[in-house]
Structure 1
């Protein structure tokens, strides 16, 4: 009987602790200049790796606990990070304002081709195609992308040194490696990343600098063309794929030893 009572007490205690930790952070996001609600603002809980967007009234709610950090981003506005406080969760909705960025147009240079009528001469003026190739290694479900001149060297390097850069980057940050799996499983996060190309949310989630993020993908044998053109979701999948290949090759090494 005592054991049953003890078990019931433990169950209620656990439920109470869970209820205290898992609450909803409710808020409304406005334009700082005119207090108009902003629709479709991206909100991501960086600690729990969950995401949502605001409705047409600028309102949102997301699972959070005290000291979680929310990353807010919206096209044309300055992204911010907001810490979830006990008062916020206790007293209800919070009003958050985003500041619009000044947009600058980049100068575009158009190079006109001057054809001579001689095929041998004119063909030299045509820009070379982007020679990106993907190579397959036997035993791995996916391949390696690399530029043509250095592709073979990169493959050989990856066999003997598979994604060591990725391991060094995240070796002291095991939580970030666990976030990779969470990000791939959360449909809201994947949808948000698929529409982004600035790496901002991805760097915030993985807690790395943009230059380090590009270097990781490069060291995982993805071409410069892929890095420049891929959206954030493709970069996430590339890093995740690279890490899975690293684990496959590492298991193979351990078996041989």
Structure 2
């Protein structure tokens, strides 16, 4: 009976340690050590998110060696790896450095307006992106600006997925599986809705700016979308393209 009890205790302890740990921390300004409110904490390994409170405190699910991307408007973003000591001590103080901003010159475009809406609306050039629908797929595709090869680019990328997208999607199956986890964490989705710097995307998918642009181009998203979309929209776009890539490649 004694051995049976010991065995049960061993199973219980193994189960507890196998569960996902929670780590806590406080984010402060490295200059004056004041707490930083509303900082974003993203576990790029587990696809989880958290936001620091008014006292700079946060709590997030993480395991040893998980990477946390910590960022806040006006501060330089940093990546922090979860260590055994952090798990053991349960909390850690993290310092962020303020960014130094340089004001850029503002250029006013040379449009001479008459004051009449009907006339002025024709003087300002308009960028128009065209969309295409493909039978069998629910999503419409952006073909970019009106050009002779816009439709051919859409069709070429769709029906040659192995050639067009394998170099990106075929080599990163583990990273791309994280995209499905986005739907499970409302905190992370709320964070990404307010971000436009793509740093979380680079860290989560293990890609750089050039590769992200090429992926979106291959998936036929326009330049205006790439510049104006927030990080959540970008990740949703990549996720949708990846799911359709798998379907087309399988077929």
Shared fold per TM-score greater than 0.5: yes
Q: Distance in 1 between matches of 2:203 and 2:231?
A: 12
Q: Distance in 1 between matches of 2:36 and 2:172?
A: 34
Q: After TM superposition, which residue ranges in structure 1, 4 or more long, deviate above 6 angstroms?
A: 122-125
- Counterparts in 2 of 1:219 and 1:163: CA distance versus 1, 3 Å: farther
* Structure 1, unpaired ranges of 5+: 253-257
Return the offset for 1:107. 1.4
Give yes or no for contact 1:183–1:190 (8 Å, CA) kept in 2.
Answer: yes
* Aligned residue pairs, count: 243
TM-align CA RMSD? 2.5
Q: Distance in 2 between matches of 1:80 and 1:142?
A: 36
Q: What pairs up with 1:1-257 in 2 under 5 angstroms?
A: 9=7, 13=10, 15-21=12-18, 22-114=20-112, 126-147=123-144, 148-149=146-147, 150-162=149-161, 164-252=163-251
SS state of the match for residue 198, structure 1? coil
SS state of the match for residue 202, structure 2? helix
Q: Distance in 2 between matches of 1:45 and 1:14?
A: 28
SS state of the match for residue 135, structure 1? strand
SS state of the match for residue 107, structure 1? coil
Give yes or no for contact 2:49–2:187 (8 Å, CA) kept in 1.
Answer: yes
* Structure 2, unpaired ranges of 5+: none
TM-score if structure 1 supplies the norm length? 0.86
List per-residue Cα deviations over 1:223-254 (Å, max 9, x = no partner).
Answer: 111111111111111111111221222233xx
Range with bigger deviation, 139-148 or 122-131: 122-131
Q: Distance in 2 between matches of 1:247 and 1:63?
A: 30
SS state of the match for residue 67, structure 1? coil
Give yes or no for contact 1:163–1:219 (8 Å, CA) kept in 2.
Answer: no
Q: Distance in 1 between matches of 2:163 and 2:41?
A: 32
- Counterparts in 2 of 1:170 and 1:246: CA distance versus 1, 3 Å: closer
Return the offset for 1:125. 7.9
TM-score if structure 2 supplies the norm length? 0.88
SS state of the match for residue 56, structure 1? coil
Give yes or no for contact 2:113–2:120 (8 Å, CA) kept in 1.
Answer: no
Range with bigger deviation, 233-242 or 170-179: 170-179
Q: Distance in 2 between matches of 1:93 and 1:199?
A: 28
Return the offset for 1:123. 7.0
List per-residue Cα deviations over 1:78-117 (Å, max 9, x = no partner).
Answer: 1111111111111232111100000122211112423689
Range with bigger deviation, 127-136 or 227-236: 127-136
Give yes or no for contact 2:41–2:70 (8 Å, CA) kept in 1.
Answer: yes
